Amino acid sequence: MGEKKKKKVKSIRVDVDKCNGCRACEAVCSAFHAKPRYSSVNPARSRIRVIHDPLRDMYVPVYAGEYTKAECTGRDRYRIDGKEYDECGFCRASCPSREDFKEPDSGLPLKCDMCESDPPLEKPMCVQWCVNEALVYEEREEEVEEEAGEKAEELELGLESLKDRFGMGKVLDALARMEKKGK
Ligand code: SF4
Ligand code: SF4
């Protein structure tokens, strides 16, 4: 077991009843993560997706979660107030079975990073832009195990998804080209 240390846990509470489907959260998330920052707005690149139920005029904001290499063998099916939702409709995973939470050009997985930036934001962008207060930012401190290797794991996941999509040979070729260009 590793050392215990204090960690700031960030969370966003979603109040579905207050969401009116304006999709400002999707737009600003994509703009904040554009390279260079704010150079484009494309909700397909957003790390939050607002799922719409036209029958009940209900909108459910869903945050992008982890990349999964293979489809899971189970399926989520939600029935809320008698309305059946699409299979996996509220799942947060970036998974091979669907296009959600993938960068449209490269296919790389998208994951909500709570708008990590330097200097840090007071509140994530989607929360700042949600005028209906459907998204509420909260922070708390928790004692957790030391996270040695967490960044390395993130890097490995990114590389693994590239390898799955393009094959190891192409990934290595691209890295070699980048090194040559001195990127
Ligand atoms: S900005 Fe707020 S109200 Fe608008 S779609 Fe997003 S969560 Fe809903
Ligand atoms: S917290 Fe930031 S990264 Fe996450 S969905 Fe909101 S705007 Fe996007």
- Separation of alpha carbons 140 and 157, rounded Å: 27
- Distance (Å) from CA 37 to ligand 2 centroid: 14
Site to substitute for ligand 2 among 125, 130, 135, most atoms within 8 A of C-beta: 125
Give backbone dihedrals phi and psi of 49, rounded to 5 degrees, phi first.
-125, 135
Reply yes or no: is the peptide bond before residue 119 cis, omega within 30 of 0.
yes
Sorted by where each begins, the domain ranges of the chain are 4-146, 149-183
Average pLDDT of the chain, as a whole number: 88
Is residue 108 within 8 A of residue 162, CB to CB? The reply is yes
Report which secondary-structure segment, H or E, holds 103. none
Pocket of ligand 2 (CB under 6 A): 29, 32, 47-48, 63, 112-115, 124-126
Collapsing DSSP states into helix, strand and coil, what is residue 129? helix
Taking only the tens place, the pLDDT of each residue in 133-148 is: 999 999 999 887 766 5
Average pLDDT over residues 117-131: 96
Give this prediction's pTM.
Answer: 0.77
- Would you say the C-alpha torsion 42, 45, 49, 54 has a positive or negative sign? positive
User: How far apart are the C-alpha atoms of 130 and 108, rounded to whole Å?
Assistant: 27
Mean pLDDT score, 86-91? 86
Query: What is the Cα–Cα distance from 125 to 106, expressed in whole angstroms?
Result: 24
- CA 164/CA 95 separation, integer angstroms: 12
Q: Atom 2 of ligand 1 has which residue's CA nearest to it?
A: 130
> pLDDT, tens digit, for every residue of 36-85?
999 999 999 999 999 987 767 789 999 999 998 888 888 888 887 788 88
